[in-house]
Amino acid sequence: MKQRRSIVTGLLVAMLWSAAAWPGSAHADRAAAATQSPDSVRAVAEQAMREHYALPGSRVVVSSTPLDLRLHLAACREPLRAMIPPQAAASSRMTVRVQCPQDGGWTVRVPLQLQLFRSVLVASRALQRGDGVSAADVRAEERDITRLGYGYIENLDQVAGRTLARTLAGGSVLSPGALGGRRMVRAGDHVEMVARLDGIEVRAAGVAMGSGDNGARLRVRNESSGKVVDAMVSAPGVVVALP
């Protein structure tokens, strides 16, 4: 009899403990389900940043640090929405706002580290001030442009007809600030000389003795006669003899 009572008592105790545990366990499961995972918020921010800067020829690397563990966000029933201004300039450190768009939703700012690699022109040797830039003077290298505060040049079309405004060490990134104005004619160029008088136009071959843009005055030597005349630049490779 005592043994039976002991067994029944044990069963009752087990049932009571189980009954007490079930509601608490269900409550914990509901609480976990009602909380938005911080990692899901970070993932949305990182993906939005990758898509925003995923241009042809670019390689995008995005990373973030874990969000504050004290941050408790209600689970969002709607897809999370990341907001990046369309004209946001690429920077090594950026912040993306992630929003839960439902009524009573929340917004979190996610700090990100961005690396945006593109192919840029780098001086293949030391270049001097006043030098023109040709394909032999530069090479293409992949660089993180978020760290190129002075800008960069991607192709030779951007430097056509321009000279260096300062000396550039080998391995340096070619930037817009390193370039001077365009020169339609440079010293030593073979140019076409045009002389006009009373409606009559005569053309001859010459060699520029100076450099200049449109409207610049310089001296030109006639290749046939050797005579040096004053002229004005009127177009790339063309000068007009002055009276």
The CATH number covering residue 228 comes to 2.30.30.760
Domain end among 142, 161, 182: 182
* Same domain? 103 vs 76: yes
Domain end among 94, 116, 138: 116
* Same domain? 202 vs 227: yes
Higher pLDDT, 138 or 86: 138
The answer as to whether 2 is a domain residue is no
Q: What is the pLDDT of residues 76-85, one digit of tens each?
A: 999 999 999 8
- d(Cα 23, Cα 39) in Å, to the nearest integer? 28
* Same domain? 107 vs 122: no
Which are the contacts of 226, defined by CB distance < 8 A and separation ≥ 6?
none
The answer as to whether 11 is a domain residue is no
* Same domain? 112 vs 50: yes
How many CB atoms neighbour CB 72 within 10 A? Answer: 11
pLDDT, average across residues 120-143: 91
The answer as to whether 1 is a domain residue is no
H or E element that contains 112: strand 107-123
Domain that holds residue 87: 38-116
Q: What is the pLDDT of residues 91-118, one digit of tens each?
A: 999 999 999 999 999 999 999 999 999 9
pLDDT band at 33 (very low <50, low <70, confident <90, very high): low
Q: What is the pLDDT of residues 215-235, one digit of tens each?
A: 778 899 999 999 999 998 888
